[in-house]
Amino acid sequence: MRFGVLQFPGSCDEVDALLAARRVGEAELLWHGERDLRGVDAVVVPGGFSYGDYLRAGAIARFAPVMEAVTEFARKGGLVLGICNGFQVLCEAHLLPGALLGNANRRFTFRQVQLEVVRGDTRFTSACAAGDASPMGPPPPPAILSIPAKHSWGRYYADASTLDELEAAGQVVLRYAPGDNFNGSLRDIAGVCNTEGNVFGLMPHPEHAVDPLTGSTDGLCIFESMRLAVEGARV
Amino acid sequence: MRARVLIRPKAGILDPQGEAVQRALPALGFAGVSNVHIGRLVELDVDDPDELESMCEKLLANPLIEDYEVQLLGPSSD
């Protein structure tokens, strides 16, 4: 299993994403100017401030050469995970529905959030369901994930009919637990996937919650789920 | 051609910046202020003003969350 982690000018969480991915497989950085994904099995669009977040977060990054390859990769069913700024990029690229607006509290906010795993059966969350232990893997994380969030533009928005469709189709994968929706996301949505289930984005940072040193390892199950999806598919 | 693009949050979408300014103005003694909304302004010289609509749709605005208005201002500035 080999992850490719994109790197834009202004990315800042690509190294943590790389190190998190390496806990479950191999991982390498893919520079934004490249058009070749070098045969990776999954792509991570990391957090940060790609292209300075000029105009709108993700608005310019979505036109980077590497994003053409990522779009093609996603169309063929490849797994794409967008974290924070990566989520914003995937929304701007129309690989995911909706958009991210300025936090309702008007502040950059950095805090631990509890996330309800609404869908524990996706290719990004299959190892996150409560009691779903893998014999070789870490102890099973709970169906509530404790993961840090840090952003100014994390208020998930889509119009009411789109939100209804997302909920009906099971595309709402993660929600902020009661009291943790500090950014004002509609219907407490923290993470969504596309209709095919191979592209997933979330505002909180699973790559920052993979080591007991920093308080939680709940983020690891996202990467482990992706590994299971890819290596299961190969057998 | 000099052009100006006004980009506004769509009606009905919570605008925390607008709300903050609306609350700040009365504190400075300006009464009777309501409906404050904050958007963006892009000014640019273009060879072909017919392309402005497409520029807005693809990059300058996000039509999911923003409305835009194109104004043509006259000859390009030098």
pLDDT tens for residues B34-75?
Answer: 999 999 999 999 999 999 999 999 999 999 999 999 999 999
Contacts with A105 from chain B: Cβ below 8 Å: 16
Contact list in A for residue B13 (CB cut-off 8 A) is: 101, 157
Percent of all residues in chain A with a pLDDT value above 90, rounded to a whole number = 91
- Asked whether the beta carbons of A64 and A8 are under 8 A apart, the reply is yes
Per-residue 3-state assignment (H helix, E strand, C coil) for A1-14:
CEEEEEECCCECCH
Alpha-carbon distance of A185 to A149, in angstroms, equals 13
Which residues from chain B sit within 8 angstroms of residue A155, using beta carbons?
Answer: 14
Catalytic residue among A128, A151, A205, A224: A205
- Measured between CA atoms, the residue of chain A closest to residue B59 is A59
Domains and CATH numbers, chain A: 2-234 (3.40.50.880)
Residue of A nearest to B20 (CA): A106
Q: Looking at the 3D structure of chain B, how many domains does it have?
A: 1
The rounded distance, in Å, linking the Cα atoms of A189 and A111 is: 17
- Burial zone of A163 (CB within 10 Å; 0-12 exposed, 13-18 middle, 19+ buried): buried
Name the DSSP letter for residue A195. Answer: T
Which of A14, A92, A207, A224 is catalytic? The answer is A207
- pLDDT digits over A175-198, tens only? 999 999 999 999 999 999 999 999
ipTM: 0.88
Question: Which of A84, A91, A193, A221 does the annotation list as catalytic?
Answer: A84
Q: Any idea what the CATH number is for the domain that residue B67 is in?
A: 3.30.1280.10
Whether A155 and B62 lie within 8 Å, measured CB to CB: no
pTM, to two decimals: 0.92
The domain in which residue B13 lies consists of: 2-74
End-to-end Cα distance, chain A: 12
The closest CB to that of B62, out of A99, A104, A155, belongs to A99
